[in-house]
């Protein structure tokens, strides 16, 4: 079941999502948390760091699994997802680096690395709370349109639109064309999922994700199959929620 929470700004949507993570850590300090990268996550990570400082909630016993990684982009590259996580969150809170994991896009055997990542998640007891963004083509993680809803962590070819959007950040070098990502099936095994979206450029993707039925042409529509999903949206991204019968609500 999907619940929709609409906020005046993207920052407020991120703050609501961050407060849900902090609540989870209070209840279970050993929370297994799935995290994401991308522009939306900068404000979300900043909100997490603020709440960590102001409320004194620790990440030290949490375990963190990131959704995806570029294939062939080393950890010290300016556009590395590993570097993004360090700079926007891990260096700002008290995470234990030994308890933070990411698919290894530099592995010599990517298929083996993908299978090993799913085993790591299973060994941790599964993900308690998974954070997601959404792409303009409604991809979640690097699961592009056409991805099977029961897919596991896997190597994927990135869609032309995804590559084009990344090109400016990687210029003058060519952007990556493949990713190593949690599959949609892996994501759906999380006990709870929060998707964050802000901006008018995401409103069509959000509307498609909410419109039944679940279909492989719209990866995010697979979230309709899950029992506990919260969409945290700003008003610009919320187009379609009320039209589709979702009880869009403002946070208390």
- Could you name the CATH architecture of 17-191? 3-Layer(aba) Sandwich (3.40)
Catalytic residue among 12, 69, 144, 234: 144
> Is residue 1 scored above 50 in pLDDT?
yes
Q: Are 62 and 95 spatial neighbours (Cβ–Cβ below 8 Å)?
A: yes
Catalytic residue among 45, 139, 149, 226: 139
By three-state DSSP, how is residue 235 classified?
helix
Domain boundaries, the chain: 17-191
Q: Are 145 and 139 spatial neighbours (Cβ–Cβ below 8 Å)?
A: yes
Residue 85 Cα distances to 66, 206, 230, angstroms: 9, 25, 23
Is residue 213 reached through a cis peptide bond, with omega within 30 degrees of 0 on the bond before it?
yes
> Is residue 161 scored above 60 in pLDDT?
yes
Mean pLDDT along residues 61-70: 97
Q: What is the pLDDT of residues 76-127, one digit of tens each?
A: 999 999 999 999 999 999 999 999 999 999 999 999 999 999 999 999 999 9
The separation between CA 33 and the C-alpha centre of its own chain, rounded to angstroms, equals 10
Catalytic residue among 45, 137, 143, 149: 137
- 144 as an active site residue: the answer is yes
> Is residue 248 scored above 50 in pLDDT?
no
Model confidence at 166, pLDDT cuts 50, 70, 90, reads: confident
pLDDT at 171: 87
- 66 as an active site residue: the answer is no
Helices (H) and strands (E) in the chain, counts: 7, 10
Catalytic residue among 12, 68, 69, 104: 68
- 139 as an active site residue: the answer is yes
- 76 as an active site residue: the answer is no
For helices 10-27 and 39-55, what crossing angle results, to 10°? 50
- Torsion sign across C-alpha atoms 26, 182, 169, 208: negative
Mean pLDDT along residues 34-55: 96
**Cβ neighbours of residue 96 closer than 8 Å, sequence gap 6 or more:** 59, 60, 61
Q: What is the pLDDT of residues 18-38, one digit of tens each?
A: 999 999 999 999 999 999 999
Mean pLDDT along residues 181-197: 98
43: tokens are 């404000």
Please give the Cα distance from 86 to 79 (Å, whole number). 12
């Amino acid at each position: 079941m999907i619940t929709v929470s609409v906020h005046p700004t993207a920052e407020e949507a991120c703050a609501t999502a961050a407060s849900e993570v902090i609540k989870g850590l209070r209840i279970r300090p050993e929370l297994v948390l799935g995290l994401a990268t991308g522009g939306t996550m900068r404000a979300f990570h900043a909100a997490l760091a603020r709440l960590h400082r102001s409320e004194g909630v620790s990440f030290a016993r949490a375990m963190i699994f990131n959704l995806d990684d570029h294939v062939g982009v080393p950890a010290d590259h300016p556009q590395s997802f590993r570097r993004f996580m360090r700079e926007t969150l891990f260096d700002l809170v008290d995470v234990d680096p030994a308890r933070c994991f990411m698919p290894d896009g530099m592995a010599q055997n990517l298929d083996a690395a993908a299978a090993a990542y799913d085993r790591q998640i299973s060994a941790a007891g599964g993900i308690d709370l998974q954070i997601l963004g959404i792409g303009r083509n409604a991809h979640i993680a690097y699961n592009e349109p056409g991805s099977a809803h029961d897919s596991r962590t896997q190597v994927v070819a990135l869609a032309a639109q995804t590559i084009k959007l990344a090109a400016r950040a990687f210029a003058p070098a060519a952007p990556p064309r493949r990713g190593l990502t949690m599959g949609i099936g892996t994501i759906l095994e999380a006990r709870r999922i929060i998707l964050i979206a802000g901006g008018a450029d995401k409103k069509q993707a959000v509307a498609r994700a909410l419109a039944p039925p679940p279909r492989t042409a719209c990866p995010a529509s697979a979230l309709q199959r899950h029992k506990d999903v919260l969409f945290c949206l700003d008003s610009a991204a919320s187009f379609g929620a009320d039209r589709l019968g979702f009880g869009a609500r403002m946070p208390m």
